[in-house]
Structure 1
Amino acid sequence: MANLAKLEYVALDITGKNYLTWVLDTKIHLEAGNLGDTIREESCSSSQDRAKAMIFIRRHLDEVLKSEYLTVEDPLALLEALRSRYNHQITVILPKARYEWSHLRIQDFKSVAEYNSALFRITSQMKLCGDTITEEMLLEKTYNTFHANNVLLQRQYRARGYTEYNQLISVLLVAEQNNELLMKNHNS
């Protein structure tokens, strides 16, 4: 029978495709439950806390993985075994995310919101893999990928001196909404 307990986040898939987000979620939830010490080297956690951590981690594993790691009783040992098995995901995800980053252009999206969503999905993957994405990089990516017909607009936005990506994207969203309203008024 399926696991009847409600999961706090998605269980680790047997393929490991969600390993990076799974391990991050696991660490956060263990910390929130005062069990973070159970997955640290030279831990002084009690056997009861380690057992609670194991129960929690095992609840968030695919059924096949539970069977494969049935004899592992230490949460740190289990996470290390899973890391050695799935950490190669970084070598799969990072090049793909970098490729998507290099080909991301605001002009290719129908709306600013769609661009913003794609940008954050890509940068999240890059950050999970250890890349650093700065506010300046986000701003430059957006400025440099405006459509060629909007060079004047791009210069005006750049001249405003935004230091945070959220400031720029907010202004772009408002401008897009105002433009849509003007077009509706014009058409009616």
Structure 2
Amino acid sequence: MSNLNKLDFTTLEVSRRNYLNWVQDMKVHLTAKNLCLAIEDETDNPNGEARKATTMIVIRRHIHDALQTKYLAEEDPRALWVTLANRFNHQKDIFLPEARHDWQHLRFQDFKYVNEYNYEVCRV
């Protein structure tokens, strides 16, 4: 079932491509709603059940439907946050070497137009 409400930012895709952006957007959004404590390490941060429930609603609303189904049994926002991080937080290992390679081998003379070069620089 698709989310019918307008989302505050893009949902976390199953393909992992937008995980880093999603994490930053989610942290900012939860901080703005004063819900960030529910996903942080709970050493001295007791959270009420209402705050945890609200945080779960926000997180589930912004993840792909397949991920919602997979993590349906998860009830704690901190546990869901850690589970998603363990699953998707390998972006630096996957994309950073490729980006470094592209940046090191990017040459101005390989492009016919300056706009093409600028586009490729921004993409890397």
Partner of 1:7: 7
Greater fraction of residues in helix: 1
Distance 1:44 1:13, change over 3 A: same
Q: Deviations over 1:15-69 (max 9, x none)?
A: 2222122112111111122111111102333221211111011011111111111
- Helix, strand or coil at the partner of 1:94: helix
**What aligned pairs does 1:34-183 form with structure 2 within 5 A after superposition?**
34-42=34-42, 43-109=45-111, 110-111=113-114, 114-122=116-124
Do the aligned residues in 1 keep the contact of 2:2 with 2:65 (CA within 8 Å)?
no
Structure 1 residue 79, shift from structure 2 partner = 1.1
Identity %: 45
Structure 1 residue 8, shift from structure 2 partner = 1.5
Distance 1:49 1:118, change over 3 A: farther
Partner of 1:31: 31
Task: Name the TM-score, length of structure 2 as normaliser.
Answer: 0.84
| Bigger radius of gyration | 1
Partner of 1:178: none
Aligned residues: 121
One-letter code aligned to 1:31: T
One-letter code aligned to 1:66: Q
Q: Deviations over 1:122-155 (max 9, x none)?
A: 2xxxxxxxxxxxxxxxxxxxxxxxxxxxxxxxxx
Output the CA distance in 2 between the equivalents of 1:24 and 1:75: 16
Output the CA distance in 2 between the equivalents of 1:121 and 1:75: 33
Output the CA distance in 2 between the equivalents of 1:38 and 1:114: 45
**Structure 1 unmatched ranges of 5 or more:** 123-188
- Helix, strand or coil at the partner of 2:53: helix
One-letter code aligned to 2:34: N
**Structure 2 unmatched ranges of 5 or more:** none
Output the CA distance in 2 between the equivalents of 1:95 and 1:40: 29
One-letter code aligned to 1:84: N
One-letter code aligned to 1:60: H
Output the CA distance in 1 between the equivalents of 2:38 and 2:76: 8
